[in-house]
Structure 1
C-alpha cells in the first residue's frame, strides 16, 4: 500500500474541494490511487457537496412546529426556489424542524443530533442530500420557545405545505386559561408579528443602542428646523414615543383589531380565556434575511457558457 502523504491529501483536496479528513479517508480506502479516491468521494457525495459549498444559498424554507407549551423554528437554505418546491427537500426541512423541538435553539446540537430514521447526524444527512439533489444546502439557524403553562402558538406566512414557508413565527403566551382560546389568540398575534416585524416584545427589552441611534437621527432632523433646544427636546421625545409604537410589539396597533394595541387586545382577551395572560416573547424568521445574494448578470453567464 502506498504511503498516504500530506501532499497527496492536499492534491486530492484541490481536485475535489472535499475536506481534509474526507480526502485522507478516500486515499486510505483506495490505497493511494488518486483517480479511485476521486471516484470514492463522488460516490459518497462529498466531492460534489464540497464543490457546491461556495455558492450562495439564500432560497429554501423556514420550518415551524408547535407542540403545546413548546415550539421551534428552523431555516434551511438552498440555492434556488426550484429545490424548495422539491418534495424531498420539504420532507427534510419538516424532519429537521421536529428534531429542533428537542435542542433548545442550539444549532450545533441540532446538527449533531441523529436525523430521524437514519444512522447519521442532521449535518451529515444534509451533506448527503447536497450530493443527491445537486445544490448547496445548509441549516442556517434554529430557535425555540417554551412556557411553563399556556401555549406556544405558531404561524407560517406564504405556506407551501403545512409548517413550511417563507416567514415563520412563534409566540409564547403564559396563562392558566382556556388552551383553545389561548391558541387562537396566539395565532392572531403571530400573524400580526409576521406582518409588522417588531424589534422587541416590550419597551424595556428594546436594544438601547437602537433607541439611541434613532434619537440621534431625530435630534439631527429637528435641529434642521432651527427651533430652540427646549422645543427640539419635546419634538424628539414625541417622535421617540411614536418610534416605540412602531417597533415594540405590545405598543403596536393590533392588525387584527385596529382599535386596540396588542397589549390592550391581550388584556381584553383575559375575560374570555378566564385567566391573566402574559406575552412571554416571540421569534420571527424570514427566509434569507441578512444573506447577501450574489448579483448575477444572466447575459454574461450565457455568453460565458457559449464560449465553453
Structure 2
C-alpha cells in the first residue's frame, strides 16, 4: 500500500512539474522589500513588479529592465492607437545652467496628466536632452547663440544617461499615463560672460521631482538676452532679467525695437516702446536705460499656442 501511495505522489509531482507549477530547481518568491523598492522606483503596479521579480529570482536590475521593455512595447502600441488625439494641454519647462538656458514645450491631453510627476519627468528629460545637445556644439562666443528644435528633432535626442532616445521615453510615458503626448518644441540659448539671460516662468508650481533642482514648470515662459556695462548691476541682473521676462510673458511683444521708438499705445508690439508691465508709467526702454541695460533678444513660449513653424538650428 505504501508503494502505491509513493507512486501516486510521484505521479502527482510529475504532473505539477509538467504544468509548470513545480520544478526541480529552487524558485524564490518575490522579496517584500525588493517589491516595495521596485514599485517605488519604477511606478509600475505591484502585480507587474511581483511578476518581474518572480521571473528573475529577485534580481532587481533584470526585473526593472524587463518591466521597461514591456512598458515600452505597450507604450508604442498605445501611441499608435492614440495618435491624432488633440494635445492642447501640457507644460513649458525651463532649465538654466550657468550662462546656458533651454525652454521646452511638451503637450498632453489633460491638465490632470500635466500635473503628474511622470509627465513632469518627461518634460525634464526633454529639457536636459536639449541642454546637452547645445552644450555639445562647438562654441566661440562673442555675444550669444540661439537655436530652435522642432518635435522631430527632439524625438531623436538622447536622454541624459544616453541609454535611449527621447522618443523611447515618450512611448514609456504614454504607456504609463494612457494619454497622447507630443514633444512640440525647444529653444536653447548660450551666452558669453558679458551677456545675461533673464528667465521667467508663469503659472509655476512646486514639484517633488528629483535629479534637477533648477528645473521649473509652468504654462508660460520667457528668456530675455541683455547686456550691461554697469558692473554694480551684476549682482542684481538676475532680478532685472526676471522682471523683463515677466513683461514678455504678460505683454507678448513681437520684436525688441529700439530706444528711439515712441510709445504706440495698447496695441504696441515693440518691446522697448511698450508700457512696462511692472511700472506702466514708463516704457520698457525708459525703465532699462538708467540701468545701462541693452535688451538684445527674447523668446516667449505659451503652452498650446498656435505658431508658425520655426526653423531648427
Q: How far apart, CA to CA, are the structure 1 residues paired with 2:224 and 2:90?
A: 23
Determine which of 161, 164, 167 is the counterpart of 1:120: 164
Q: Does 1:252 align with 2:274?
A: yes
Following superposition, which runs of at least 4 residues in structure 1 exceed 4 angstroms of deviation? none
Aligned twin of 1:165: 218
Contact 1:67 1:152 in 2 (8 A): no
Aligned twin of 1:191: 246
Q: 1:173 Cα deviation (Å)? A: 1.2
Aligned twin of 1:132: 176
Q: 1:125 Cα deviation (Å)? A: 1.2
Q: What are the superposed Cα offsets for residues 176-202 of structure 1, whole Å, 9 maximum, x if unpaired?
A: 534332111110010111111111111
Q: Does 1:65 align with 2:95?
A: yes
Q: What are the superposed Cα offsets for residues 34-55 of structure 1, whole Å, 9 maximum, x if unpaired?
A: xxxxxx8984422211111110
Number of aligned pairs? 212
**Cα root mean square deviation, aligned:** 2.6
Determine which of 77, 88, 113 is the counterpart of 2:118: 88
Q: How far apart, CA to CA, are the structure 2 residues paired with 1:42 and 1:124?
A: 7
Name the TM-score, length of structure 1 as normaliser.
Answer: 0.63
Q: How far apart, CA to CA, are the structure 2 residues paired with 1:157 and 1:75?
A: 14
Q: How far apart, CA to CA, are the structure 1 residues paired with 2:226 and 2:165?
A: 33
Q: How far apart, CA to CA, are the structure 1 residues paired with 2:257 and 2:105?
A: 26
Which secondary structure state, in structure 2, belongs to the residue aligned with residue 45 of structure 1? helix
Which secondary structure state, in structure 1, belongs to the residue aligned with residue 264 of structure 2? helix
Determine which of 189, 195, 211 is the counterpart of 1:150: 195
Q: 1:109 Cα deviation (Å)? A: 4.0
Q: How far apart, CA to CA, are the structure 2 residues paired with 1:202 and 1:168?
A: 20
More helix by share: 1
Contact 1:75 1:142 in 2 (8 A): yes
Flag the 1:53–1:83 CA change in 2: closer, same or farther, 3 A: same
Aligned twin of 1:280: 296
Contact 1:151 1:179 in 2 (8 A): no
Aligned twin of 2:48: none
Determine which of 275, 287, 291 is the counterpart of 1:265: 287
- Mind listing any 5+ residue stretches in structure 2 that lack a counterpart? 1-69, 135-146, 207-214, 308-313
Q: 1:289 Cα deviation (Å)? A: 0.7
Q: Which has the larger radius of gyration?
A: 2
Flag the 1:130–1:94 CA change in 2: closer, same or farther, 3 A: same
Q: 1:68 Cα deviation (Å)? A: 3.3
Aligned twin of 1:56: 86
Q: 1:145 Cα deviation (Å)? A: 2.5
> How do 1:101-116 residues align onto structure 2 when only pairs under 5 Å count?
101=131, 102-103=133-134, 104-107=147-150, 108-116=152-160
Q: How far apart, CA to CA, are the structure 2 residues paired with 1:258 and 1:44?
A: 53
Name the TM-score, length of structure 2 as normaliser.
Answer: 0.62
Q: 1:118 Cα deviation (Å)? A: 5.3
Q: What are the superposed Cα offsets for residues 199-258 of structure 1, whole Å, 9 maximum, x if unpaired?
A: 111169xxxxxxxxxxxxxxxxxxxxxxxxxxxxxxxxxxx9626972110101112222
Q: How far apart, CA to CA, are the structure 1 residues paired with 2:289 and 2:95?
A: 26
